[in-house]
Amino acid sequence: MRRLFDTAVDKPHPAPQKFHSLLVKGLVENGQSVTCLVARPVTVKTHPHKKWWKLEREIVDGVKYVYMPFYNHPIPKLLGFKFYAFFYTLLWAWRTRGDKAMICDVLNVHASASMKACKIVGMKSVGIVTDIPGLMVWQKKASLIRRWLRNLHMLNIRRMSHFVPLTEAMCDLINPERKKPYVVVEGIVDSVMDYKAPTPYQDGKRHITYTGTLNARYGVRDLVKGFMKLPQNDIVLDIYGRGPMDVEMTKYANQDGRIHFHGMVTNDKAVQAQRSSFLLVNPRPTAEEFTKYSFPSKNMEYMATGVPVMTAVLPGMPKEYHPYVFLFEDETEEGICHRLNEILLMPIDKVRERGLLGKDFVIKNKNNIRQAERVIELINQG
């Protein structure tokens, strides 16, 4: 992933890699044997000069990784992944019949092919559902073909034998009658974060940080404009990520010297930036329909650093999280400014205490070893 990131023209988003790699590590820690069939996050935009990508295999920390071969063009790549995934999964399932299961990210293009192979041999197919197709797409209007593909995608998701959704509300769409076994796993944090303490005030400034997609629908514009209204001079707003607001973000950084726009960085650098912050902010608004079908893994990643988190009262976030974060209900730029100012005026010890309590909560209850154990329990129950 680091090699692909370094060589990509348009950087791939690290979030899916982090989520699933943590799940794999958790499965191994629970004594499971794991083989990963991987569709590398390569597109014509990310790597325009390399067309053929060969089959590669490696074993890392006891996990076997199989990187599928493909020709770097949308249609042959899609068909190739589906073909390879179907026959690889079919042969793997046939050879390893017994106490086995196929776990997949349902958003991956080859997931449905692997699921169909599992049905042929009677093997369980467990769908990790991190998003609902169509609800995260920015275009309001979709073509007839795109709508048909979304419907087909949803149909294939519903055909999985088991589900691991991020929120209970997702089951209303993928498992409405709750007839198929499922367990809600709203996110995963790395257990090793227990040994990494926050490191704020490295330069004498109070850094307020956002890492993620730069889209106004995610409340990023309101966050930036709200921050610009603050009077303090010892504060910095660090923005990490990319999206439709890239050019706009550069403009804001030029207008206010306290705003630092860093663009897309590797996950390691993003986590380091989070750990050195005074406050981490997720401005995602609650009015958008997709918020009830998603739990922002960003919140859990934030909390694991031990740095306090400020977030809206998202419908997909269980109330058990509320005591460990700073909530805001007025989601306008004025409301965000007001809440930020309240936190900045609080005693520093009180602010830091909230962050450390949040870290303790997610490390104990939502770490990758425990969450993987819950997935194993789901598979074993039927």
Domains parsed from the chain with CATH numbers: 2-188+367-381 (3.40.50.2000), 194-365 (3.40.50.2000)
- What is the pLDDT, as a whole number, of residue 85? 96
Residue 344 CA to residue 341 CA, distance in Å, equals: 5
- What is the pLDDT, as a whole number, of residue 293? 73
H or E stretch at 254? helix 246-255
Under the phi-then-psi rule, with left for phi > 0, alpha for psi from -120 to 50, and beta for the rest, what region is 334?
alpha
- What is the pLDDT, as a whole number, of residue 141? 58
Closest CA to 299 of 281, 275, 323: 281
- What is the pLDDT, as a whole number, of residue 17? 84
Q: Which amino acid is at 218?
A: Y
Q: Provide the 10 A C-beta neighbour count for residue 73.
A: 12
Which residues sit opposite 179 in a β-bridge?
none
Strands 63-67 and 56-60, by their bridges, are antiparallel
- What is the pLDDT, as a whole number, of residue 136? 58
Stretches where the chain sits below pLDDT 70 are 97, 135-143, 294-296
Alpha carbons within 13 angstroms on the beta-carbon side of residue 21 total 11
- What is the pLDDT, as a whole number, of residue 139? 44
Residue 280's alpha-carbon distances to 8, 104, 239, 325, 336, in angstroms, are 28, 30, 10, 10, 13
Closest CA to 288 of 342, 216, 211: 216
Residue 1's alpha-carbon distances to 160, 210, 217, in angstroms, are 28, 22, 28
- What is the pLDDT, as a whole number, of residue 158? 92
Residue 313 CA to residue 364 CA, distance in Å, equals: 23
In this structure, are residues 249 and 237 in contact, taking their beta carbons and an 8 Å threshold?
Answer: no
Q: Model's pTM, two decimal places?
A: 0.83
Residue 103 CA to residue 111 CA, distance in Å, equals: 9
Contacts of 226 (CB under 8 A, 6+ apart): 332, 333, 334, 335, 336, 337, 340
State pLDDT tens for residues 4-29.
888 988 887 777 888 899 999 999 99
Closest CA to 150 of 178, 103, 116, 112: 112
In this structure, are residues 12 and 41 in contact, taking their beta carbons and an 8 Å threshold?
Answer: yes
- What is the pLDDT, as a whole number, of residue 144? 77
DSSP state of 131: S
Residue 279 CA to residue 305 CA, distance in Å, equals: 11
